[in-house]
Amino acid sequence: MLQDDGPATASQLGRRLGHSSGVTSYHLRVLADLGFVEDDTERSNGRDRWWRSAYRIAGFTVRSPDDPGDAENVDLVTQYMRACVETFHKRMVDYVDSLAVRVDELPTLPWTFDDQPVALTEDEARQLAWDIRNLVGRYHRERGRKDVPADAVRAYFQFQLLPDDLPDDLPEDLPDGLSDDPRDGLPAPEDGESP
């Protein structure tokens, strides 16, 4: 929330999350101890303590030479990445579902989906990811800043660079709550329609 919406107090965040300011304040202090959030000294005063994200963007990689990939770490990484993927998926579906009310705008909208197969080495993949992050970073602007153009629209750039070859030894049974049926989550067919 602090990354998306900018600095806030524990009370403001608590109201949005449905928690007390005390609970929210505790969690903000924990996140501050871990380096994820920090005091916004420009806004804080004697009465209100404002917090801001310590990072401009969020990203994730599994590369960590000092942290071996044991089963527990891999499980935590998998849970985190699934939560991120669900958020990305929801954002895309919400946009697609909004198209019906954007009919008049559709011919001029700049928003896009893109899927391009590429062939590259691991070093080239690292360079490509770095280049894209740097390019997109030029457009990261916090809400409320004076240098944001008046006609700027808040948008999300979602980026994945994934291999197309999956290991042969994937588990046959998916974790609880997951399905390999591509129709899961889709509305049931109407009577007389084939699934």
The model's pLDDT over 26-78, given as tens digits with 9 standing for 90+, comes to 888 877 887 778 888 778 777 788 888 776 556 666 666 666 667 777 777 78
Q: Is 103 exposed, middle or buried (0-12, 13-18, 19+ CB in 10 A)?
A: exposed
The predicted pLDDT at position 186 comes to 38
The span from the CA of 184 to the CA of 187, in Å, is: 8
The span from the CA of 74 to the CA of 77, in Å, is: 5
Regarding predicted confidence, which is higher, 192 or 170?
170
Range 115-119 average pLDDT: 90
- The answer to pTM > 0.75 is no
The predicted pLDDT at position 100 comes to 92
Which residue is listed with tokens 């997109």?
136
Give yes or no for residue 128 having a pLDDT over 60: yes
Instruction: Compute the Cα dihedral for 91, 94, 100, 102 and give only its sign.
Output: negative
The span from the CA of 36 to the CA of 57, in Å, is: 11
The predicted pLDDT at position 121 comes to 94
Tell me the domains of the chain and their CATH numbers: 2-53 (1.10.10.10)
Q: DSSP strand E in the chain: where?
A: 8-9, 37-39, 50-53
* pLDDT bucket at 188, cuts 50 / 70 / 90: very low
Regarding predicted confidence, which is higher, 51 or 169?
51
Report yes or no: 30 and 45 within 8 Å, Cβ to Cβ: no
